[in-house]
Amino acid sequence: MPATAEPLTHLARLEAEAIHILREVVAEAHNPVMLYSVGKDSAVMLHLARKAFYPAPPPFPLLHVDTTWKFRAMYDLRSRMAQESGMDLLVWQNPEAKARGINPFDHGALHTDMWKTEGLKQALDHWGFDAAFGGARRDEEKSRAKERIFSFRSASHGWDPKNQRPELWNVYNARKNKGESIRVFPISNWTELDVWQYIQLNQIPIVPLYFAAPRPTVERDGLLLMVDDDRFVLRPGETPVMRSVRFRTLGCYPLSGAVESTATTLADVIQETLLTTTSERQGRAIDKDAGGAGMEVKKQQGYF
Amino acid sequence: MDHPTTEPSGYAVDDLIARDIDAYLDLHQHKTMLRFITCGSVDDGKSTLIGRLLYDSKMIFDDQLTALEADSKKVGTQGQAIDFALLVDGLAAEREQGITIDVAYRFFTTTARKFIVADCPGHEQYTRNMITGASTADLAVILIDARKGVLVQTRRHSWLCHLIGIRSVVLAVNKMDLIGYDQARYDAIVADYAEFARSIGITRFTALPISGFQGDNVTTRSAQTPWYDGPTLIEALERVEIDTARDASAPLRLPVQWVNRPNLDFRGFSGLIASGTVRPGDAIRVLPSGKTSTVARIVTFDGDRAVAVAGEAVTLCLSDEIDCSRGDVIAAADAPPQVADQFEATLVWLADEALIPGRGCWLKLASQTVSATVQAPKYSINVNTTEHMAAKTLDLNAIGVVELTTDKPLVFDAYADNRTLGGFILIDKITNATLAAGMLHFALRRAQNVHWQALDISREARAAAKTQSAHVLWFTGLSGSGKSTIANLVEKKLHALGKHTFLLDGDNVRHGLNKDLGFTEADRIENIRRVGEVARLMTDAGLIVITAFISPFRAERALVRAMMAAGEFVEVFIDTPLDEAERRDVKGLYKKARAGALKNFTGIDSPYEPPEAPEIRVDTTRESAEQAAERIVNHILGNRLAMI
């Protein structure tokens, strides 16, 4: 009998770790859900879920906390992937934000707070989910680096960084009291490069906006914004210009900065990502709020 | 700020990325992964070293660097130079305090490997975070400040790493720049450490003279230490053997996490292979049942596999339809793990609340969760001197050796042989907090040799012969609340109806069975545990058992509830307010307690935790004893009628 040849590669170990986490939550939680934002990290998460429970479909639904302001291409892929995976797709739009017409042009930080932070809490309460998978990674941001894989939230969805449960080995304590919930991050230990490479190796479908193409854009406040539909309010003097651009992260289109690029294949994108010297979240306006502690404050308030 | 003068080979990848991205991706795809921890005392320069590793591996982007430069000027401790520690110290609170208060995970990569670093805190009160970081690490970098040498914390961290089973240790003597790269001083520190390391069982380690601040011998060989010809830190990290590679050659262990049953034609057992290698056709044994079968298929999303190894998450199909569910372990048929319910183990206490010997808690080991009780420690261990000390309990960050008992047999290996099947956590049944991390040593003989005696007449048959269902009516409430009075009435009524009952009274039991017990928290727990066991035997006999004990703690009542079959345990909360019970003071005990003549008296200087969801609640200020007894009897018989 030949000895096993190679030790596992880092991607094989990361994949196994994520699958282990997904299965553990399904075994221990009453009503889990996978948050699905249609971005590349969500694409990897969905793929991992399909692997973890194959040949069964993943035994939980996908939840998209929608702001109504995502790129059109994201809505297209969302429908396609739900169908392909055989999973239920739940969409939640904060009714209050809808009624008040909260939008990224007029309401700034309130837009993210109402649609995303509040919307997520509402959706979790509405369906009574006690465990929610998220695609956050520790390499994204300083305060993320210290978050556990199983992150406990109080009944009001608050996060207490000083009172996290210690996580030993790969033994996860998923017990919680009524009303409490867990956010679970199966790809905590992945880097942006790992995500890209995994997408490449597994040929995972992603939103075409990650690849460069000529798109109508305007330059505003140091960000290159794409005019994705006719709700985009142009300021005096602004005229959309066709530029070859792509997106490093995807969110609400009026808040997602594009980068000029000619990368049309995954290899090109990875190459550009590796050679670039601007970190991933810089294209997002959200982290700049509230000074240096932006994300940490948002998380204590219940942002994912 | 000094840049390395020569570009180390491990990082010289930018050129390849630009020239041939496919070649680079191919290289990256085949990298292995090493997880390591850095530990040292406050100010040993851990964060600075990690910041340096990230910086040198180009894991810092322009915008982060800009923020870092600004932060360095504002709150940095390095004057105008870049304070690498600011990169790593994430949370706002600790940025202000200037210390790391939690485990942070960082990522960097060289051409040979991807690395995950757990940055572990040096403060004494955060031992639990260090244990957390160390539990997933293949290697530990122990940092020493060259000006200070081996400190108490150095010993503690080294011993903890050894305890948790880290096999590779790198001793990084840091801040060499501040002692003028003095070889004699370095050699003395290494010799000092070697002597200590040997004393705790660390036989091999790699020592390096470095400066995290200046970058000496971190990624590039330093010109300042011509007398040193060993590897740089990065070289040492790239060369060490990874644990999962070794695990693949051990006997197969696959803890079943989830049974995959999408339809009647497919039944697969999913789990992460903890050790060993598996191929279709391999003979396996399922523990604890001991049933054997062979592996039919190794199923994955990417197609069936011919072989799978330790560290992979797979789904196995077996050739026989045998019982196997979450918590079971699929193992090599000829080298199965052990099964037992009493153990000796080392515990690292992680919770603010101290260990309460005898109190039930959850024990989670791989995918098994059982109820467990921990005895008073045999001894605790001084982490600074490794001396054994007498201990009655374990406080936060204490480490001790204990015996523990589980309510169901546990499939296990000694921790030294298999981290997955020997490492466990303890969970508080009420708060769900993680109380402790544990490492199993061995099973105690008495558990191996005492087997359950199977009885020919079932408990159901015994109850049926009495035309009743067995029950435990568990009265709880303050002293003087009326428990015994109502319990007596209930028994009389049931007896009059021809039911077979037995009343276990608190005071009576303490005259005999439990006369060796006092009223400390630990003794009260043991008192209730024994009563629970007696009640269980009586329900086996088919009796309706009535108990009247203060039983002040929720955890113990939950423990007894867990001993009984579903629906059998009826918690009766005699809800008399303290002032009312004290006013009645039937036995004159409150007066004595108030006078200080009685210690640990419930309601006075010992807490009473009221039931959250009792089956029956009796408010004695609104309901007479007679009415309450009638209601309780109806509840019991109503239950019985419903069951027929």
- Residues of B identified as active-site: 551
The residue type of A92 is: W
pLDDT band at residue A180 using 50, 70 and 90 as cut-offs: confident
Cα separation, B181 vs B261, whole angstroms? 64
Put simply, the answer to whether B366 touches A23 (Cβ < 8 Å) is no
For residues B334 and B283, the answer to whether their CB atoms sit within 8 Å is yes
For residues B470 and B636, the answer to whether their CB atoms sit within 8 Å is no
What is the greatest pairwise CA distance in chain A?
A: 74
Let me know whether B237 and B256 are in one domain: no
Q: What local confidence, expressed as pLDDT, does residue B604 receive? A: 85
Class of domain A10-195+294-301: alpha beta
Handedness of CA B256, B261, B267, B270 (dihedral sign): negative
Q: What local confidence, expressed as pLDDT, does residue B9 receive? A: 39
Those residues with Cβ within 8 angstroms of residue B65's Cβ, 6 or more apart along the chain or in another chain: none
Convert chain A into a string of H (helix), E (strand) and C (coil). Answer: CCCCCCCCCHHHHHHHHHHHHHHHHHHHCCCEEEECCCCHHHHHHHHHHHHHHCCCCCCCCEEEEECCCECHHHHHHHHHHHHHHCCCEEEEECHHHHHCCCCHHHHCHHHHHHHHHHHHHHHHHHHCCCEEECCCCCCCCCHHHHCCCEEEECCCCCCCHHHCCCCECCECCCCCCCCCEEEECCCCCCCHHHHHHHHHHHCCCCCHHHCCEEEEEEEECCEEEECCCCCCCCCCCCCCEEEEEEECCCCEHHHECEEECCCCCHHHHHHHHHHCCCCHHHHECHHHCCHHHHHHHHHHHCCC
Convert B436-466 into a string of H (helix), E (strand) and C (coil). Answer: EEEEEEEECHHHHHCCCCCCCCCHHHHHHHC
Average pLDDT across each block of 10 residues of chain B; the chain has 644 residues. List them in order.
Answer: 38 66 82 89 77 73 67 64 65 49 79 86 67 91 93 87 92 95 96 92 92 89 94 93 79 97 93 96 94 95 95 96 94 93 93 90 96 93 87 91 93 94 95 94 67 64 83 92 91 89 84 83 84 90 90 87 87 92 86 83 87 91 90 78 36
Write out pLDDT tens, residues A94-119. Answer: 999 999 999 888 888 888 889 988 99
Put simply, the answer to whether A20 touches B272 (Cβ < 8 Å) is yes
Handedness of CA A71, A73, A75, A81 (dihedral sign): negative
> If we measure between CA atoms, which residue out of B499, B430, B482 comes closest to residue B629?
B482
Which of B71, B105, B260 has the CB atom closest to A189's CB atom?
B105
- Candidates B425, B435, B554: best to mutate against A (most CBs of A within 10 A) is B425
Let me know whether B13 and B152 are in one domain: yes
Convert B67-125 into a string of H (helix), E (strand) and C (coil). Answer: HHHHHHHHHCCCCCCCCCHHHHCCCHHHHHHCCCCCCEEEEEECCCEEEEEEECCCCHH
Q: What is the DSSP letter of B252?
A: P
Q: Give domain status of residue B3, yes or no.
A: no
Those residues with Cβ within 8 angstroms of residue B59's Cβ, 6 or more apart along the chain or in another chain: B107, B108, B109
Looking up residue B567, the CATH number of its domain turns out to be 3.40.50.300
In chain B, whose CA is at the least distance from the CA of A268? B21
The residue type of A261 is: S
Which of B28, B61, B366 has the CB atom closest to A279's CB atom?
B61
Q: What local confidence, expressed as pLDDT, does residue A282 receive? A: 52
The residue type of A290 is: A
Let me know whether B621 and B493 are in one domain: yes
In chain A, whose CA is at the least distance from the CA of B105? A145
Cα separation, B115 vs B241, whole angstroms? 13
- Does residue A240 register a pLDDT over 70? yes
Put simply, the answer to whether B244 touches A7 (Cβ < 8 Å) is yes
Q: How far is CA B604 from the centre of its chain?
A: 34
For residues A119 and A244, the answer to whether their CB atoms sit within 8 Å is no
Put simply, the answer to whether A267 touches B64 (Cβ < 8 Å) is no
- Taking residue A293's Cβ as centre, other Cβ atoms within 10 Å add up to 17
Tokens encoding A120? 């997520």
In sequence order, the β-bridge partners of residue B136 are none
- Does residue A258 register a pLDDT over 50? yes
Cα separation, A157 vs A180, whole angstroms? 8
Q: Would you call the peptide bond into A55 cis, given omega within 30 degrees of 0 as the criterion?
A: yes
Burial environment of residue B96 by CB neighbours within 10 A (0 to 12, 13 to 18, 19 or more): exposed
Put simply, the answer to whether A10 touches B113 (Cβ < 8 Å) is yes
High-pLDDT (> 90) share of chain A, %:
59
What is the greatest pairwise CA distance in chain B?
A: 97
Q: Give domain status of residue B4, yes or no.
A: no
Calculate the alpha carbon distances from B175 to B48, B155, B181, B185, B231 in Å. Answer: 11, 19, 9, 12, 17
Let me know whether B157 and B129 are in one domain: yes
- The answer to whether B17 contacts chain A (CB < 8 Å) is yes
Q: What local confidence, expressed as pLDDT, does residue B563 receive? A: 85
Question: For B523-535, b where at least 16 C-beta lie within 10 A, e where not — what string?
Answer: ebbbbbbebbebb
**3-class SS at B425?**
strand
Structural domain boundaries enclosing B32: 9-241
Cα separation, A186 vs A188, whole angstroms? 6
Write out pLDDT tens, residues A32-82. Answer: 999 999 999 999 999 999 999 999 999 999 999 999 999 999 999 999 999
Q: What local confidence, expressed as pLDDT, does residue B121 receive? A: 63
Let me know whether B386 and B509 are in one domain: no
Q: Give domain status of residue B119, yes or no.
A: yes
Put simply, the answer to whether A27 touches B367 (Cβ < 8 Å) is yes
Helix axes A72-85, A40-53, angle to 10 degrees: 0
Put simply, the answer to whether A166 touches B90 (Cβ < 8 Å) is no
Let me know whether B588 and B531 are in one domain: yes
Handedness of CA A65, A70, A72, A74 (dihedral sign): negative
- Does residue A142 register a pLDDT over 50? yes
Q: What local confidence, expressed as pLDDT, does residue A274 receive? A: 78
The residue type of B314 is: V
Residue with structure tokens 């008495």?
A: B446
Helix axes A40-53, A192-202, angle to 10 degrees: 60
Comparison of pLDDT for A166 and A241, the residue scoring more: A241
Looking up residue B344, the CATH number of its domain turns out to be 2.40.30.10
For residues B358 and B529, the answer to whether their CB atoms sit within 8 Å is yes
For residues B286 and B271, the answer to whether their CB atoms sit within 8 Å is no
> Taking CB atoms and an 8 Å cutoff, what residues of chain A touch B16?
none
Let me know whether B200 and B61 are in one domain: yes
Put simply, the answer to whether B257 touches A162 (Cβ < 8 Å) is no
Q: What local confidence, expressed as pLDDT, does residue B315 receive? A: 97
pTM of the predicted structure, to 2 decimals: 0.78
Let me know whether B32 and B55 are in one domain: yes
Which of B25, B107, B257 has the CB atom closest to A27's CB atom?
B257
Q: What is the DSSP string of B343-385?
A: EEEEEEE-SSSPP-TT-EEEEEETTEEEEEEEPSPSEEE-TTT
Total number of domains in chain B? 4
* Residue ranges per structural domain of chain A: 10-195+294-301, 207-287
Q: Give domain status of residue B370, yes or no.
A: yes
In chain A, whose CA is at the least distance from the CA of B94? A162
- Candidates B11, B14, B26, B28: best to mutate against A (most CBs of A within 10 A) is B28
Of B449, B476, B507, the last residue of a domain is B449
Of B449, B477, B497, the last residue of a domain is B449
Let me know whether B124 and B214 are in one domain: yes
Q: What local confidence, expressed as pLDDT, does residue A3 receive? A: 42
Cα separation, A60 vs A67, whole angstroms? 22
Cα separation, B110 vs A274, whole angstroms? 13
> Taking CB atoms and an 8 Å cutoff, what residues of chain B touch A51?
300-302
CA angle A55, A59, A61 (to 5 degrees): 125
For residues B119 and B388, the answer to whether their CB atoms sit within 8 Å is no
- Taking residue B330's Cβ as centre, other Cβ atoms within 10 Å add up to 25
- The answer to whether B83 contacts chain A (CB < 8 Å) is no
- Taking residue B434's Cβ as centre, other Cβ atoms within 10 Å add up to 25
> If we measure between CA atoms, which residue out of B388, B397, B390, B384 comes closest to residue B347?
B397
Give kind and range of the element (H or E) at residue B503.
Answer: strand B501-505
Let me know whether B235 and B262 are in one domain: no
Half-sphere exposure of B124 (CA within 13 A, CB side): 9
- Candidates B16, B30, B33: best to mutate against A (most CBs of A within 10 A) is B33
For residues A113 and A100, the answer to whether their CB atoms sit within 8 Å is no
Put simply, the answer to whether B248 touches A4 (Cβ < 8 Å) is yes
Cα separation, B251 vs B310, whole angstroms? 10
In sequence order, the β-bridge partners of residue B330 are B254, B286
Put simply, the answer to whether B132 touches A277 (Cβ < 8 Å) is no
The residue type of B201 is: G
Q: How far is CA A148 from the centre of its chain?
A: 17
> Taking CB atoms and an 8 Å cutoff, what residues of chain B touch A284?
none
Let me know whether B26 and B61 are in one domain: yes
- The answer to whether B128 contacts chain A (CB < 8 Å) is yes
Let me know whether B262 and B173 are in one domain: no
Which of B21, B92, B432 has the CB atom closest to A293's CB atom?
B92
Q: Give domain status of residue B1, yes or no.
A: no
Which of B103, B299, B432 has the CB atom closest to A146's CB atom?
B103
Q: What is the mean pLDDT of residues A194-205?
A: 93
Smallest CA–CA distance, residue A68 to chain B, in Å, is 30
Smallest CA–CA distance, residue A27 to chain B, in Å, is 6
| ipTM given for this complex | 0.89
Of B389, B415, B449, the last residue of a domain is B449
Question: For B211-235, b where at least 16 C-beta lie within 10 A, e where not — what string?
Answer: bbbbbbbbbbbbebbeebeebbbbb
Chains A, B: CB pairs < 8 Å: 201
- The answer to whether B367 contacts chain A (CB < 8 Å) is yes
Q: Would you call the peptide bond into B4 cis, given omega within 30 degrees of 0 as the criterion?
A: no
Cα separation, B365 vs B437, whole angstroms? 10
For residues B636 and B471, the answer to whether their CB atoms sit within 8 Å is yes
Order across the sheet with B258-263: list the strands. Answer: B253-255, B329-332, B283-287, B291-299, B313-318, B266-272, B258-263
Smallest CA–CA distance, residue B154 to chain A, in Å, is 22
- The answer to whether B113 contacts chain A (CB < 8 Å) is yes
- Taking residue B460's Cβ as centre, other Cβ atoms within 10 Å add up to 12
- The answer to whether B101 contacts chain A (CB < 8 Å) is yes
In chain A, whose CA is at the least distance from the CA of B438? A168
Instruction: Tell me which residues of chain B, numbers 588 to 627, contact chain A at a CB-CB cutoff of 8 Å.
Output: none
